[in-house]
Amino acid sequence: MKSNQKLQWIHVDDLRLDVENPRLPDSLSRKSRDESKIINWMLQDASLLELMTAISENGFFVGESLLVVKENGQNVVIEGNRRLASVKLLNDPEIAIVHSRKVKEVVSNSKNDPDESLPCIIFESRESIEQYLGYRHVTGVKSWGVLAKARYLKTLARHSEGEDISELSKDLARKIGSRSDYVRHLLVAYDVYEVVVENGYFRVPGLNETTIHFNYFVDSIRRENVREFLCVDLNSDFPVKNLNIDNLNELVHWFFEKNRDLKTKVKGDSSSLSDLDDVLGSEVALEEFRKTGSINEAIKYISQSPETFTEELEIALDCLKRANSYIHRIDSHGKYDMDLLREIRDLLSTMRGAMLNKEEDW
């Protein structure tokens, strides 16, 4: 921040929440000017009640001044929206629809009169404070969630001098004190995420901005086979220009569509993503995964060792032994049973021949 910025006290009623706040979901940001909806969305996070309690007991700390810009004749709070929302609720608890009883309880127990004016530092434009906020919330001590970080970086990108993805990432990284590769991954992952949003989250039941795990996309595009599957080129000036929408659709369903046991086909942890990357690098394994929906089964088709082959034979032998023990307990056998035995016999003959041919090659 500039050292010549002056502190001003502005009445709470003359301060507006920022509808472009990167932490707001798309359903509220830029599409809604209704502050009460934004405040009630914030109230879903219990920490806002804690902040209200702290302000009601200790007053508003001048060291946490709000950062404000003049836009369309209004004082828009760029930094300090949660603090402003807390004070607005303390002044008018009727705003609360969510946790309304708890809000009124905090107000009734307040040790101080509601703040009518708050300390603010006025800036000429958003651009004049974006670099500071980028450092504070992307790499600093008050770090936002990954999605909010990526959304804010996209905002910073509009004013960046970088022309291609490489220069853009380096420029933004310098501004916020981060690594350029981390910035690039966030920007590209956000481009992929936007396509997911544009396609209605591919109609995955219950999937929306509040339930999706954006970090899955960030972690995924770090992996070569996933990038190739999606046709994402990190070295291109337009990394998602040739994005494969059909494959992205599959990936989103693997990540987020739940079965009857409320489990997904792929978890978002590092180990599962590594397995998925391996599976996507093998046509045979990918075909098996699409058929069975099981990563554990599909992974068996990748670089099988002699031990894996032996283990599969042992499993098959155990199954046949169990089937053999049933033969004398069953009065009659259908044609289908005989067909299965013939198929097993033919398969064994083929496998034995393949093994003998390899021995001859040795």
pLDDT 10s digits, 292-327: 999 988 988 886 567 767 878 888 898 898 888 888
Give the Cα separation of 239 and 147 in Å (integer). Answer: 19
- Residues 104 and 31 both lie in one domain: yes
Would you say 19 and 29 are in contact if contact means Cβ atoms under 8 Å apart?
yes
The reply to whether 191 falls in a domain is yes
The reply to whether 234 falls in a domain is yes
Give the pLDDT score at 134: 59
- Residues 84 and 178 both lie in one domain: no
- Residues 106 and 157 both lie in one domain: no
Give the pLDDT score at 163: 63
The count of other CB atoms within 10 Å of the CB of residue 173 is 21
Query: What residues in the chain have per-residue pLDDT under 70?
Result: 1-5, 29-33, 130-143, 159-163, 175-177, 303-305, 308, 359-362
What phi and psi values does residue 27 have, to the nearest 5 degrees? -65, -20
The reply to whether 360 falls in a domain is no
Question: For residue 16, what are the β-bridge partners?
Answer: 76
| DSSP per-residue letters across 307-325 | HHHHHHHHHHHHHHHHHHH
| DSSP per-residue letters across 92-153 | -GGG-STTHHHHHHHHHT-SSPPPSEEEEEEES-SHHHHHHHHIIIIISSS---HHHHHHHH
What phi and psi values does residue 75 have, to the nearest 5 degrees? -90, 100
Tabulate helix, strand, coil % of the chain (nearest 5).
60, 5, 35
Domain count, the chain: 3
- Residues 50 and 120 both lie in one domain: yes
Which of 264, 288, 317 lies at the terminal end of a domain, its last residue?
Answer: 264
Dihedral-angle region of residue 212 (phi above 0 means left; psi in -120 to 50 means alpha; beta otherwise): beta
Give the pLDDT score at 209: 84
CATH code assigned at 20: 3.90.1530.10
Burial readout 18-50 (b: 16 or more C-beta within 10 A, e: otherwise) = bbebbbbeeebbeeeeebeebbbbbbeeeebbe
- Residues 76 and 183 both lie in one domain: no
- Residues 119 and 150 both lie in one domain: no
Give the pLDDT score at 141: 44
Query: Residue 155 sits in which domain range?
Result: 146-264
Which of 264, 283, 318 lies at the terminal end of a domain, its last residue?
Answer: 264
- Residues 120 and 22 both lie in one domain: yes
Would you say 154 and 190 are in contact if contact means Cβ atoms under 8 Å apart?
yes
What phi and psi values does residue 6 have, to the nearest 5 degrees? -105, 145
- Residues 205 and 241 both lie in one domain: yes
Amino acid at 43: L
Give the Cα separation of 100 and 106 in Å (integer). Answer: 10
Which of 75, 91, 125 lies at the terminal end of a domain, its last residue?
Answer: 125
Give the pLDDT score at 327: 84
Beta strands in the chain (DSSP E): 7-11, 15-17, 66-71, 74-79, 117-123
**∠ CA 266-267-270, rounded to 5°:** 115
- Residues 212 and 116 both lie in one domain: no
Residue the block writes with tokens 């994005």: 243
318: its two tokens:
């155990």
Q: How far apart are the first and last CA of the chain?
A: 74
